[in-house]
Amino acid sequence: MAYEPLPKAFGAPEGSAPRCSEAHLRIRMKRRRLIWYYGWNVAAVAILFQVVVSGVAITSFSLWVSSWTQAFHAERAPVLSAMTLTLIISGTLSPTVGSLLDRRPIRTMVTFGLLCFAAGFFLLSVSTALWQIIAVYGVLMGISTTLCGSIVAQTLMTKWFLARTGLAIGIALTGLSLGGVVMPPLLAFLLSAIGWRSAAAVIAGIGLALIPLVLLVIRNSPGDLGLDPEREAIIAEAAPRSNPEFVSAGKLLLHPNFWPMVVTFVPLFTALKAMGANFGPITSDLGISTATAAIFLSVNNVCTIIGKIVIGRIADRSDARLILLLFVLITSAGFMLMLGHPPSTRVLLATVLLGAGSACLYPMQGILIRRYFGVIGFGRVLGTLNVFFLLSAFGGQVAGAVRDRVGNYNFFLLACAIAPLLLGLTVLRLKRYDQIERRAWS
């Protein structure tokens, strides 16, 4: 049996000959069975910086809203514009960041993101007007959540893992959900114990403390440390053929798989992000305390963690499109349960379903891109896709504005239940790269 050389990204010189026979490769795999693969160290640090940055700036945003509306005597919609600006900045930066991830040191980019995160919360702690809150939060959190978020984590996993990409992506992205488990209760405690200004200063210190760990551990690929890829991929046939590198965003927009991805993910992303931004106000309207809402957020994110690992485990062996549709259906059921004036037990059940449904939001993007676009240029595809998530940036603010005018969130919840389910069927139009003519890229 003939073998192709390992991809250059994993340290093999371009055009090098196969390293050895299948028997020899299997012996090497057996000898390495007890050796810890360094890629999991990279995944652990990726989890950690997502826990802090996304857990505070994104998942726990609704807890800041209540403090700022009281401190500055403002309505909800203006305060929620801070998250709108964050999403706009993040979406605008995503294509550039994604392209840089394919060719620049990732640890440098993550370090800069953590510096922006720390600087942002320090400036928030000394802000004296609502416009300062909106500007600082929107700009600096937009930068930090992009450089320390899912795009970076997924790109790292595709560079470090060949045979178990889905599992690695699912595990690395549990950082987003772990942040939702750990940070809301911590933030709720800090807000009640020392006030929002001091809490922001403490959060800034936590961000700075992560920088040495990132500089020590993060590398772009096994080749940077002279390592082989994961043992499951040492046998060369486990390494997939890479597609031609994307020449321009224009050619990417013409790819037959790109627009089905946009139509599938934008409504789902909009619904879940808008729900996240308004979860605190929604539970407040239902008479649920901030402490209980924080517990519900933790339950939500525990379910998301479990879901991401399950998705990563089965996506490497199954039709990822059908897995996505199943989790979209679960999400729609969660929104339906929130309609009306549900008791706290029904809100808890809805929280569980929304958590399970949210599990598909980020890992399925990476898994589908890996399967339907290939490895080379992964960051560019993911970054360009995130531009279209700008359409979701106004979801939270619009939901808050509708509530201010109508007095409830029912219209918002009904739209979130129906639109992602109907438009999600578009994912069935995706075709594997080897089924698409190469002239699509030429």
pLDDT value for 381: 80
116 contacts 168 by C-beta, under 8 angstroms: no
415 contacts 327 by C-beta, under 8 angstroms: no
pLDDT value for 104: 82
Distance CA 40, CA 217 (A): 10
Q: For the chain, which residues make up each domain, given as ranges?
A: 35-440
pLDDT value for 123: 92
Structure token pair of residue 217: 């551990």
Distance CA 387, CA 89 (A): 10
Q: Find the helix or strand (DSSP H, E) in which 239 lies.
A: none
Structure token pair of residue 71: 């401190």
Distance CA 342, CA 331 (A): 17
Task: Convert 84-116 into a string of H (helix), E (strand) and C (coil).
Answer: HHHHHHHHHHHHHHHHHHCCCCHHHHHHHHHHH
Q: What are phi and psi of 221, to 5 degrees?
A: -160, 165
Residue labelled with tokens 């040492």: 234
Domain 35-440 sits in CATH at: 1.20.1250.20
For residue 272, give the amino acid letter.
L
Q: Compute, in degrees rounded to 10, the torsion defined by CA atoms 63, 417, 312, 159.
A: -70
User: What secondary structure letter does DSSP report for 362?
Assistant: T
Distance CA 206, CA 210 (A): 7
With H, G, I as helix, E, B as strand and everything else as coil, classify residue 62.
helix
Give Cα 175 distance to the centre of its chain. 9
For residue 30, give the amino acid letter.
K
For residue 344, give the amino acid letter.
S
Average pLDDT per consecutive 10 residues, the chain (442 residues; last block may be shorter): 39 42 46 66 91 86 81 76 83 82 85 93 87 89 89 85 78 81 83 86 91 89 72 46 50 81 88 82 82 81 82 78 88 89 88 86 80 71 77 75 81 88 87 55 44
CA angle 350, 353, 359 (to 5 degrees): 140
| 342, burial (CB in 10 Å: exposed 0-12, middle 13-18, buried 19+) | middle
pLDDT value for 12: 41
| CA-based nearest residue to 277, from 171, 403, 366 | 403
